[in-house]
Amino acid sequence: MKKISNEENLIIQHSIEEIKKYDFLDTADMKFKFLSNKESRKLVQKISKLPYKEKNLLYMTYVFNESDSNIKDIFDIQYPRGERLFLQELLSKSLGFTEWISDEDMKKAVLEVHEMENEVYFYNKLKVNIITAIVLLVFLPTHIILYNRGTYGEVFFDFEFFLRLLKDLETKLDIFVIILPIISIIFPSLFLIKKQISKEPVYVPYYYWEKNFNLKVIIGCIGLIFGVRIFYPIFTSMTVLLLGIAIVISLVELIAKEIIKTTELV
Amino acid sequence: MIPMRLLLLMSRNLCDWERTEIEKLYKRMKKKMFFIALDILRDNYHAEDGVSRAFLIISKNFDRISKLPVEEQEPYCITILKNECYKIYNSNKKYVTSEEFEEILWEEGENTTEEKVFDILDKEKMSFLIENLEDEERDLINLRYGKDWSFKEIGDYFGISDATARKRHQRILEKLRSKRESENYEKDK
């Protein structure tokens, strides 16, 4: 446990008393300021810089409309009202106001920050899909062209294994090579369209962002290919073609996820 | 992680409908919540602990959560989870939080009357000195000690580096210390 000096003890006691004072503050006589668009944007920036504990408190009040007594129960904090009013005053002072920010403006800004935060995974997924689509769009057609020209040896990625198994399916493979990036980008695009229509936060299931998900897909596909090859050899080439696509997408996504890295929350 | 059935037993009396609904919510959310907790805590054990704690609170407040629109239930649960993870994260840092500190203060209370009077006088003096600090200095002190913000969090908020926040904090402490000492010296004289 970190040791606290007597001086720090006194400061902590004072600071706790300060927060307690805010808990009993009468807001009836306070002057409130209504913000312009520019000021609102600044407020959003300031709220987004608050630590998660403080942001959660604001979310509970302004997004989920919870009462102070409920917040006290849920978050196990002693002075939820005091903490919230302290934060509101801090935000007002940080923006250079002498008045308090109106509740309407606070609500609008907190909602915006909440939406931004929940969309982190959505935009990460979108980034991964765009990178995957670009890689597949550029790399795979180049590969096929080089293969058809007989300069395959110049390409470092060994795709010969699939092609040898497919033999007569080059044309179909060409089609899939074009479809591949489209598949990769179609899902986030649908999410994006849905978001534009609904104007509400769109939540992407977390497993989309999980690296293990891609690993599981790759292992599963390889297992399935071997299974089909042993038990239903007639369907091997088609299985290799379809599951090969899933393997390529997952592999590129895995690399893209590694490049982007998971957004740190703390 | 606490198994779901045990968790439901631990929580208050729930009716069958609530039990089924919580189980449904748990099945739907557990993976997502676990990975969010893992993102914050970077440790499987603590992440599982975070999810369990969050679900205990969710089950206690389920009557409220069930009244929320379906699209709000998920972010509501995640807000609770993040808060619990933040608590675990702070306790792992081995700092004394303001809530813990208040508990310690209550537990102490073994001082003699004379010591108590000196404590109060000391406290009042310190409060007076803090009140006389500049606005920004007072905010920094309150955030650091009253709200347990780290120097990184203070730096992020004020748009300065951690090192600058630390330096400012040190400077304020020195200022308070010197004022306190000079007042004590004048009184002794």
3-state SS string for A197-229: HHCCCCCCCHHHCCHHHHHHHHHHHHHHHHHHH
Lowest mean pLDDT among A46-60, A88-102, B85-99: B85-99
Q: Which residues pair with A101 in a beta bridge?
A: A33
pLDDT of residue A229: 86
For chain B, give the percent of residues with pLDDT over 70.
74
Helix B70-92 to helix A103-118 angle, to the nearest 10 degrees?
80
Mean pLDDT of the A48-69 span: 88
Q: Which residue has the higher pLDDT, B117 or B67?
A: B67
Quick one: CA dihedral B70, B71, B76, B79, positive or negative? positive
* Chain A residues inside the 8 Å CB shell of B173: 7
- Cross-chain residue pair A201–B75, CB shorter than 8 Å: yes
pLDDT of residue B181: 74
Separation of alpha carbons A83 and A90, rounded Å? 10
* Chain A residues inside the 8 Å CB shell of B122: 10
Give, rounded to a whole angstrom, the gap between the first and last alpha carbons of chain B: 63
pLDDT of residue A193: 76
Q: Is A263 on the interface with B (CB under 8 A)?
A: yes
Separation of alpha carbons A219 and A252, rounded Å? 15
Mean pLDDT of the A226-240 span: 83
Within chain A, what is the greatest distance between any pair of CA atoms? 83
Mean pLDDT of the B85-113 span: 59
Lowest mean pLDDT among A41-55, A74-88, A162-176, A235-249: A162-176
- pLDDT tier for residue B107 given thresholds of 50, 70 and 90: very low
- pLDDT tier for residue A33 given thresholds of 50, 70 and 90: confident
Quick one: CA dihedral A263, B3, B8, B9, positive or negative? negative
pLDDT digits (tens, 9 = 90+) for A89-105: 899 988 888 888 888 89
* Chain A residues inside the 8 Å CB shell of B157: 46, 49-51, 94
Contact by Cβ (8 Å): A56, A117: no
pLDDT of residue B24: 82
For residue B159, the Cα-to-chain-centroid distance in whole angstroms is 22
Separation of alpha carbons B77 and A118, rounded Å? 12
Separation of alpha carbons B42 and A266, rounded Å? 10
- Cross-chain residue pair B94–A1, CB shorter than 8 Å: yes
Q: Which residue has the higher pLDDT, A251 or A144?
A: A251
Quick one: CA dihedral A255, A260, A261, A262, positive or negative? negative
Q: Which residue has the higher pLDDT, A195 or B97?
A: A195
Separation of alpha carbons A95 and A89, rounded Å? 10
Mean pLDDT of the B108-120 span: 56
Work out the mean pLDDT of chain B and round it to a whole number.
76
- pLDDT tier for residue A265 given thresholds of 50, 70 and 90: very low
Contact by Cβ (8 Å): A62, A111: yes
Contact by Cβ (8 Å): A60, B81: no
Q: What DSSP character marks residue A35?
A: P
**Pairing mode of beta strands A100-101, A32-33:** parallel
Q: Is A253 on the interface with B (CB under 8 A)?
A: no
pLDDT digits (tens, 9 = 90+) for B35-66: 778 777 777 888 888 888 888 888 888 888 88
pLDDT of residue A64: 86
pLDDT tops 70 at residue B126 = yes
Q: Could you tell me the two tokens for B138?
A: 């007072």
Mean pLDDT of the B70-91 span: 83
Q: Collapsing DSSP states into helix, strand and coil, what is residue A81?
A: helix
Quick one: CA dihedral A53, A57, A58, A62, positive or negative? positive
pLDDT tops 70 at residue B2 = no
* Chain A residues inside the 8 Å CB shell of B80: 74-75
pLDDT tops 50 at residue A266 = no
pLDDT of residue B12: 56
pLDDT tops 50 at residue A264 = no
Separation of alpha carbons A91 and A262, rounded Å? 29
Nearest CA to B68 among A224, A65, A23?
A65
pLDDT tops 50 at residue B27 = yes
For chain A, give the percent of residues with pLDDT over 70.
68
pLDDT of residue B16: 76
pLDDT of residue A162: 53
Q: What DSSP character marks residue B68?
A: S
Give the contacts of B35 (CB within 8 A, at least 6 positions apart): A206, A209, A210, B47
The whole-model pTM stands at: 0.64
Lowest mean pLDDT among A102-116, A195-209, B26-40: A195-209
For residue A12, the Cα-to-chain-centroid distance in whole angstroms is 37
pLDDT of residue A120: 67
Q: Is A75 on the interface with B (CB under 8 A)?
A: yes
pLDDT of residue A209: 58
User: Which one of A1, A13, A85, A216 makes the best mutation probe of the B interface by having the most chain B beta carbons within 10 Å?
Assistant: A13
Mean pLDDT of the A256-262 span: 65
Mean pLDDT of the A130-154 span: 64
Q: Which of residues 86-105 of A touch B (CB under 8 A)?
A: 86, 90, 93-94
- What one-character-per-residue DSSP string does A98-129 give? SSEEPHHHHHHHHHHHHHHHHTHHHHHHHHHH
* Chain B residues inside the 8 Å CB shell of A205: 32
Contact by Cβ (8 Å): B119, B111: yes
Nearest CA to A143 among A130, A134, A152, A135?
A152
Mean pLDDT of the A27-44 span: 84
Closest chain A residue to B59, measured at CA: A74
Separation of alpha carbons A106 and A101, rounded Å? 7
Closest chain B residue to A49, measured at CA: B157
pLDDT digits (tens, 9 = 90+) for A148-206: 555 444 444 455 655 554 554 455 556 666 666 677 677 667 767 776 776 555 555 54
- Cross-chain residue pair A17–B127, CB shorter than 8 Å: yes
pLDDT tops 80 at residue B7 = no
- The complex scores an ipTM of 0.70
Separation of alpha carbons B35 and A23, rounded Å? 35
Give the contacts of A111 (CB within 8 A, at least 6 positions apart): A62, A63
